[in-house]
Structures are given as structure tokens and as C-alpha cells.
Structure 1
Amino acid sequence: MDLVSFVAVPALAYLVMAALVAVDAVIPAVPGEVAVISSGALAAAGHLNIVWAIVAATLGALAGDLTVHGLSRRALPGALERFRLGRRLKGKITEAHERMGSTSAAAIIATRFIPLGRTAAAAAAGVAGMRSRRFAVIAFAAGLLWSSWAVGLGYVTGSVTDAPLWLQVAIGVAVGVLVGVWAGATHTIIRTRRRMTERARAAESSDREEPAPSRSARARLAA
């Protein structure tokens, strides 16, 4: 059965796509993003409804993110505490989330567009102890934005090209990967610059707090 015959039952297509997106959070090798972009191309061809495609992808993304967050919050902290390296990693993750504060929401949303960023962000939020309700709100917003982008990408690709469906999907996936790599590189550069700025400020602050040598000490140095 080909893809077009499969989507002859739209409800089944939406359900399968949501399931793939959900499992993709736990097993990144599952082609969840490919399924979402394909739904956009199929919507452009009139086989699916673009709004329902976005809804299904959003719900699948939310379910997957909550699963990773819940597992990480319950299981990972105890596992990490058993090893010195794990304790250090847990401490760094918690410290990073506390330092970001309210901006952690923006970071989680931004990493949703980076390859493997979704799983890493959900796991880190769980290890750091972010409350499930707060994470659910952030994950829903991130999932909605990402789903709109991925479905829209497939829809535009399907609308502006007369290529076969598989080629439309391939083009959409290629564009999505390029944008994800660019977003990841940009995120890394911003984080690196922020760390360098924080270190420079910390060094400057320590220099200011260092007490000046006393008069007797200066006299001994001069002698």
C-alpha cells in the first residue's frame, strides 16, 4: 500500500504521525520529523487537512516530551548520584537551569529546532527538577511552534514544486536539517560568548575585591 492510499483514512494517518513524533522523543532514530513534513506535502496535495496535521504533530510532540521529562526526573537523578562524573553532570545541569531562570523556557523552545535538542532539553529539565506542569506548558508551546514550522515547510514545498511526493518530502527534510544545524551552531556560539562574558566579569570582580597591599608591605617590597 502506497502513502496516498494510506492517507485515504486521514484519522489513521494523523494517529500514526502523532505516535511517530511521540516515540521520536525517546528514540531519535524514529522519523518523526519526516512524517510531519510529509503531512504538510500531503496537505498541499489535498490528501490531509493542514490544521489537523499541526494538531496531531503538536500532541505527539507534547506526549513524547512529557515522557522523556518524567523518566528523567524520576530515574536519572538517582542513577547519576551513583557515580562521581554523574554527580558532577547533575550539578552542572541544575546550576545551568538555575542560572537561566525564566529564560530556560526560551532555551527549551529554541532547542526544539536543533537535531537531538528536543530529547536533550527534556531530559535536562527533568534532571534539574523542573515541575511537570511548567514543563508541560513550555513543551506545548515548543511543540506547536515546531509542528507549525514542519507542516508548513512540507506544505510550501508541495505547493511550489511539481516534483513527486518523495522528492517534495526529501527537499523539505533537507531544508529542515539545514535550518536545524544553523540553529544549533547559532545557539552554541551564543552560549560560548555568554560563558566568556561571565568569566570575564567574574575575573574582573575578583580583581576588584582583592585587597590592596598595606603600607608596611609596600615598604618591605621596596626594600
Structure 2
Amino acid sequence: MSRTEFGVESQSESTDDGRSLGKALALSPVSHTLIGMSVVSIVGWTVRQSGSGAAFALRQPILLPWWELPLSVYAHADPSHLLGNAVIVVLAGGLVSLRASLPRFHAFFVGSGMLAGVAQVAVSDALSAGTAVSNSVLGASGAALALVGYIASSNRLSSTVLRGVPKYVVVLIALAVAAVTTVYFSGGGGRVGYVAHFIGALVGVLAGHRNVLRPGSATSR
């Protein structure tokens, strides 16, 4: 084979590899999620700069307007908040997406995020009842920790250990894992949504135990 032929073949292979990588990224639910997080966050920051207040933040009444509930999962307070959650989504979401169908991944992400956000607002309002404090929450932290929790309980090791274990023990273990995950990833600070983190991690652990994201998966395990 001549140098010219070798060069043409190598260039063709590189082009094919590049196209394959581009196609994989375009079809990845993680890429979709990161784009959604970035776009919604940037729009929110722009609205806030105009003096209209925090856009897409979830607060009472929860469903007024209804679209703030799903958008609050993708919106973030500032670039550092977005970056921190994006790193977890890339690492944990990348692993989960290997065995998750596209629709189930997105439904799990936004569903766990909304549930975590609602729980955070409900608990915060209950604790601040009788005061003038207005509680709100935004960000993908709950959904991101749901991905982490899913990984923790959907692997073969956890399946082997928990096989035949009574359901109440599984629930106690799930609570413990969710608590540890919450403490590890939450750090400190008064603005951290500990309830959202815990609920997200708990949802992930329970969902991972049932392998609900696996295409064609059965719920029995």
C-alpha cells in the first residue's frame, strides 16, 4: 500500500470515528440533560438580571405556574451551582445511561428532581410556618443524587447482597445509603437543600434496586 493510499484510509477512518463519536454524543441523554440545564439556567440568569426576580425557582403554590415545576430541575442559581451538578450528571449519568433507555433516563431525571424539589419546599415551609420567610428551590441536585443512588443499588454486588433480604431491611439500607450520599455530596452552607438531596438519593437507591431504567426490565428482582 502506498503512502498516499495509507493516508487516505487513515483519514477516512478518523472521519468515521469522529462521526460515530458525534452521533453517540447527539443521542446521549446526558448531552441532552446538560444542554437543557445550560439553556434554562442562562435564561434564568438573564431574567434575574432584568430585575424580574429568580426565574424558574420552585415555590408555593407548587403548580402555579405549572411549568416552573419541571424547569426548576434544570435551572441553577449561578455558574458554580450549574458546574457542580453538571459534573455529577456527567459521571453518574454517563454510567446510568449505558443501561437505560432514552425515555426512561429523562423521565427518571426530571421525575426524581421534581419530587425532590417538592419535598424540599414542603419541609421548608413546614419548618418556617408562622414566619414571613418565602422558601424556594431550584437545581438538579436532587436528580443528580438520584443517579448516584441508582448506581449504588443497581450493580451486581448489591443485587447479590440484598437477594432474599426482607423488604423492611432493604428500606432501612436504602435510607442509610441515601443519608450517607446526602452528607457526602451536600457539603455545608445554609443554602444547601438537604431534604431535596436526601429524597433524590433515596428515590435513586430504591429505583436502582428494581433496575427500573433497564430497557424491557421486569420489576421483580
- Whether the TM-score (by the shorter chain) exceeds 0.5 is no
TM-score bracket relative to the smaller structure:
under 0.3
Which one scores higher on RCO, CA 8 angstroms, separation ≥ 6?
1
**Larger radius of gyration between Structure 1 and Structure 2:** 1
What TM-score results when the alignment is normalised by the length of structure 1? 0.27
What TM-score results when the alignment is normalised by the length of structure 2? 0.27
